[in-house]
Copies of this chain bind each other. A is one copy, B any other.
Amino acid sequence: MEDKMVPNIVVGRLPLYLRTLQLMNQEGRRVTSSQELGERLGISAAQIRKDLSQFGEFGKQGTGYNIDFLTDKLRHILHVFKVWDVAVVGIGDVGHALARYQGFANRGFRIVLLFDNSPAKVGKLVDNFIIQDLSSMVAQIRGAGVQIAMLSVPVDQAQVVTNQLVEAGVKSILNYAPINITVPSGVRVQYIDPVLHLQRMTYYLE
């Protein structure tokens, strides 16, 4: 209930906290503080305490945060204690890299379906997964109950494929095509476009 009140910008910082805690855990660490988290992330300690306080009382004054405990809490809050099945649509270079990406492990996601519309690609294996024909996508995603897709198709196909993903029941789309897509309410989109990040930095370069 109360979670509905949490601003989206706060939700957006929680995965950063979780990633940092998981890295600390791999380093063999047991306890951290909002100060240390803040230094690693370039976010103020006060902001981190305020963000986390929206979800409960996770640390003790003076003793900091237990890393395992806070990791578990954040995994629950972000719904990544379970592993979500993900479809990748468009198996060019980017889709191929996503299909083979090792960084999903232990973070709540696994690729289970790959789609492309190229006869040269359909039927081929990427790691253990067969690239399947885009024409079968809606039925397969619906049948498997997959709710998350990563979209790496050409710009001119992005909206059409998005409409099909929505029809198939997908609720979350991570769009790698450098174009804004339109979805009905109840479906969320996030964007990855390296040029947006690069231009944000060249602004400060001479």
The distance from the CB of A83 to the nearest CB of chain B, in whole angstroms, is 11
Q: Is A128 an interface residue (CB 8 A)?
A: no
Q: Are A97 and B107 in contact (CB under 8 A)?
A: no
Segment with Cβ contacts to B, from A58-66, A132-140, A188-196: A188-196
Q: Is the CB of B174 within 8 A of A108?
A: no
Copies in the assembly, this chain = 2
Task: Produce 1/0 per residue, A1-41, CB < 8 A to B.
Answer: 00100000001101110111001000000000000000011
Interface string of A135-149 (1 = CB under 8 A from B): 000000000000110
**A162 interface residue (CB < 8 Å to B):** no
The answer to the question of A150 belonging to the interface, with a C-beta cut-off of 8 Å to chain B, is yes
| A40 surroundings in chain B (CB, below 8 A) | 180
On chain B, the residues within 8 Å of A79 by CB distance are: 202-203, 205-206
20 other contacts beyond A98-B194, A174-B198, A190-B198, with CB at 8 A cut-off?
A14-B199, A14-B200, A14-B203, A19-B193, A23-B155, A41-B180, A42-B180, A78-B202, A79-B202, A84-B205, A93-B101, A101-B194, A103-B195, A104-B194, A108-B199, A147-B205, A148-B202, A171-B204, A172-B204, A172-B205
